[in-house]
Every structure is written in C-alpha cells, then in structure tokens.
Amino acid sequence: MSDTVALARKDLLLELRAKETLPAMLLFVLAALTIFHFALPRGTSDVAARGLLWSALVFTALLGLTRAFVAEREQGMFDALVLAPCDRSAIWLGKALSVVAFLAAAEVVALPAFAAFFHGLGGRTIAAVALADIGIAAVGTLFGAMAVAGRARELLLPLLFLPTAIPIVVGGVGGYLWFLALYDAIFAVLAWATFEYVIAEA
C-alpha cells in the first residue's frame, strides 16, 4: 500500500508544480457547460441537462487520462517504473487514485456550475458522479498504459476508452447507482487482473 500512496503522491506533486492537466480539465468542462447553457433553449428537460453534464465529464476525464503516463514516457522513466521492486498492480492503483483526485478537483468546480446553469443538483447525481469516477479511473488507467506506448496515443486512448464509457453515461443520466457500482466492481477487477500483462508489453 505504501508503494501505491507514493506513486499517487508523486503524480499529485508533479501536477502541483507543472499545472498542466488540471487547468486544462477545468477550462474544458466550464467551457462545455457554458456553451450548453447558452446553446440550449430555456426549459430543457432534466434528463437532457444530465446528458450534457455527463458528456462534459467524460470528455474532461479523457483529458486527464491522456496525461496519466506521459510524464514517465517523456522522461524515459517508464521502464524504470515497470522494473521497480513493487507489485505492478500498485502502479495501476496509484495512477487510478491520482486520476480520481484530478476528476474530483474538476468536479468541485463543474457541479456547482451545472447547478447554476441548469436545474440544480440532486444528491443522487453527486453519488452517481462519485461512483463514475471510480469506474473511469479504473478503466482509463488501464487504457492509458496501453495507449502511451503507441505513437498515436492521443487517438488510441479515445478509441479504447469512449466505448467503455457509454455504460457510465447511461447509468449516470438514469441515476442507476446500482448499475454504476456493478460497473465499478467488474471493471476494477478486470483492470487490476490484466494491468500487469498490459504494462509488461508497453
């Protein structure tokens, strides 16, 4: 567990110093919600508004996932990370925790903005977002590790991630908390079980 905490802490400290990922996520999600607010007619239904929120959150998450392993790859530290004397699943969990932290920081701004622009914000929506963050981080970290080894990682990651994000959007728009919890459990186990083999081939 100490390895996981150390990796997550390293990512958060790098972001605090570089300020590359989180500002981009904040700018994107606020811009998207602002555009939706002024583009849609008054009286937009709650379901449509939630659909727009979830679309904005998923694409915002994609920005953060794109950068998840870039620092190690650009600095030539990816191989050292893989060869480090720790359980490789700790790398996945540490990265996933840092992704959850980035998503939570962006949503602290995005959710109040959504509440102000549209029809308020219910507790069920907040719970759905929290559950969705876990699933996004679990699956996205796995696909981020797969994509970072390729030359076209900016193209490969969306192709891998977005189809698996569709159930998250469906569960979030419908407020199906049980569905999101089941998604988290299944995909977290799958990502944990396969990450060691994925990163060995990266």
pLDDT in tens, 21-51: 888 889 999 999 898 888 877 766 777 788 8
Per-residue pLDDT tens digits for 111-164: 999 888 887 788 888 999 999 999 999 999 999 888 876 667 678 888 989 999
Nearest to 146 by CA among 66, 75, 30: 66
Question: Based on the structure, what is the number of domains in the chain?
Answer: 1
Q: What is the pTM of this model?
A: 0.86
Range of the domain at 11: 2-201
Q: What is the pLDDT of residue 17?
A: 80
Distance of CA 144 to the CA centre of its chain: 10
The torsion angles phi and psi of 121, rounded to 5 degrees, stand at -145, 120
CB atoms within 10 A of CB 154: 12
19 pLDDT above the threshold of 70: yes
Per-residue pLDDT tens digits for 56-71: 999 999 888 887 777 6
Question: 95 falls in which pLDDT band (50, 70, 90)?
Answer: confident
In the chain, where does DSSP find H-type helix? 2-18, 21-39, 46-66, 70-74, 78-83, 88-117, 123-148, 153-174, 177-201
- Distance, CA of 6 to CA of 83 (rounded, Å): 16
106 pLDDT above the threshold of 60: yes
Report the pLDDT averaged over residues 74-91: 66
Report the pLDDT averaged over residues 97-115: 91
